[in-house]
Amino acid sequence: MSRKKILHIGDPLLRAVSHPVKKFDLRLAMIVRDMGETMYGADGIGLAAPQIGLMRRLIVIDLYDEEGLRVFVNPDIIKAEGEVSLTEGCLSVPGRRGCVTRPELVTVRYQDIKGNVHELSAEGLLARALQHEIDHLNGVLYVDLMDYEVFEEEEEEEEEEALPQASEA
């Protein structure tokens, strides 16, 4: 197993469009393993192959639920509905966060590690992670889409406002 270096904003590979995966073999399985290890080592919930310098349409996501590590090969969003604005961060844009408006529900067509085609409808955090990681495959970073940057102090204030006050309890 091998953790890979995560590329940071400014690296031209993050702005390139990835190529489809054509071979579903042991090498692909090893890449997926390395991507998972790299993502877990960086405390992320998603990682796209371009973030480690591989220009392939491949992403991994783990929301730390019963599904575990999810692998999406050659994913494409085929349907999107609704709209929701939430704060995002990125392993390739360390130390920054921003509010991004994205579709609330998405349907993605993708292949698994063996090349079988699937469709998945997702909402919530999974929908957001899929869109974020698929953007990487197209050379797009969340900072290109963000409505505004969110600073740590603002997030702390929002969290405090969301907590019930002692007089409300």
Question: Do 64 and 45 form a contact (C-beta atoms < 8 A)?
Answer: yes
Among the listed residues 66, 88, 133, 160, the single catalytic one is: 133
CB atoms within 10 A of CB 27: 9
> Is residue 133 among the annotated active site residues?
yes
Phi, psi of 42 (to 5 degrees): -100, 5
Question: Do 39 and 46 form a contact (C-beta atoms < 8 A)?
Answer: yes
In angstroms, rounded to a whole number, what is the distance separating the alpha carbons of residues 53 and 66?
29
- For residue 34, give the amino acid letter: D
Question: DSSP labels for 108-168?
Answer: EEEE-TTS-EEEEEEEHHHHHHHHHHHHHHTT--HHHH-SEEE-HHHHHHHHHHHSPPTTT
So which residues are the catalytic ones?
133
